[in-house]
Amino acid sequence: MRVFYSELCLIGGQVEENVDRLIAQGAENIELMLDGAGWDDFPRRAQSLAAALRAKKTAYSVHVPVWGSNLTYECARYREAVLASYRESLDFAALVGARHVVLHTGSCPDSHFSKEVARSRSRQAMFNLLEYNERYGLLLLVENVGTPATSLFTQEQFASFLEGMPDAIGYIVDVGHAHISGWDLEALFAALGGRLHALHLHDNDGTKDAHAPIGTGSVDWDRLLAAAAASASASGNDLGLVLEYNIGTDLSTLAAGKAALERAWRGGSVRA
């Protein structure tokens, strides 16, 4: 088990400063989120930025940019622009030695359009990214996103989405997103098996995607983490647990969350 802090809570700040602030809260692993003003010019200064980040005492994963992005847009030119941003994310992930790269699969925000068509577009994009990733050999992870109305997937469709794809691509399950969709996470972990490599962890009340600190909503964390630990034990995967808290969250909650995860992973409770 490896705990990551997501940069989401500091989006908009300067990247190097964000990383330093997370390290000050005990981060040993940080998930860089390539959104916000701090990332505006990263393709131009990728080499120098990556060198500066590698010099810091932390390891990384990378999350592709998501604000205003949809890999399954109805406009082909927009889809290609989003795909190009994902390729740039892979380039940067390779420079910082990222443990994994999180990919959003897209969504269907308007009921006039077909989710089946959107899923097909998303699968084609994944094959495109797998081909591009052959030069790097990064671990690519697809995430469940959206609400029941906008998500491309039911629980069963998500579990089968990667059928026919190589092991270079696997799953990261976003617990908060799954919670508002009413998914059975114990069953999902079992269905994903060895393709489950990470979790995005945040809490909510079961109705709204709040990205709140763990233990402040209605997720049953002790039961969920016991199921995750059992899945990791069965697969042999070193599961990444990413605390993905909302913009502006008090950073001290990350250190508290890390301690709670470590306690629960040893068989204790999230609640001290």
pLDDT digits (tens, 9 = 90+) for 79-100: 999 999 999 999 999 999 999 9
Question: With 80 as the cut, is the pLDDT of residue 196 above it?
Answer: yes
Q: What's the CA gap between 68 and 106, in Å, rounded?
A: 11
- Characterize 193-230 residue by residue with b for buried, 16 or more Cβ atoms within 10 angstroms of its Cβ, and e for exposed: eebbbbbbbbbbeeeebbbbbbbebebebbebbebbbe
Q: What's the CA gap between 20 and 26, in Å, rounded?
A: 10
- Tokens standing for 119? 């899923």
Terminus-to-terminus CA distance in the chain, angstroms?
A: 19
Question: With 80 as the cut, is the pLDDT of residue 44 above it?
Answer: yes
CATH number 3.40.50.300 given to 2-265? no
Could you report the per-residue pLDDT of 197-254, keeping only the tens digit for each? Answer: 999 999 999 999 999 999 999 999 999 999 999 999 999 999 999 999 999 999 999 9
Band the pLDDT of 271: cuts 50, 70, 90: confident
Residue identified by tokens 């980040």 is 53
Q: How far is CA 121 from CA 156, 161, 177, in A?
A: 18, 12, 21
- Tokens standing for 17? 């400063």
> How many of the other CB atoms lie within 10 Å of CB of 107?
22
Q: What's the CA gap between 47 and 63, in Å, rounded?
A: 18
CB 228 within 8 A of CB 239: yes
Tell me which amino acid residue 255 is.
A
Ordered alpha helix ranges (H), the chain? 15-24, 46-54, 76-96, 115-133, 155-160, 175-180, 185-192, 221-235, 252-265
- pTM passes above 0.95: yes
- 74 burial type by CB count under 10 A (0-12 exposed, 13-18 middle, 19+ buried): middle
Give the model's pLDDT for residue 272.
74
Q: How far is CA 24 from CA 1, 18, 27, 42, 56, in A?
A: 21, 10, 7, 23, 12
CB 32 within 8 A of CB 89: no
Could you report the per-residue pLDDT of 138-194, keeping only the tens digit for each? Answer: 999 999 999 999 999 999 999 999 999 999 999 999 999 999 999 999 999 999 999
Question: With 80 as the cut, is the pLDDT of residue 73 above it?
Answer: yes
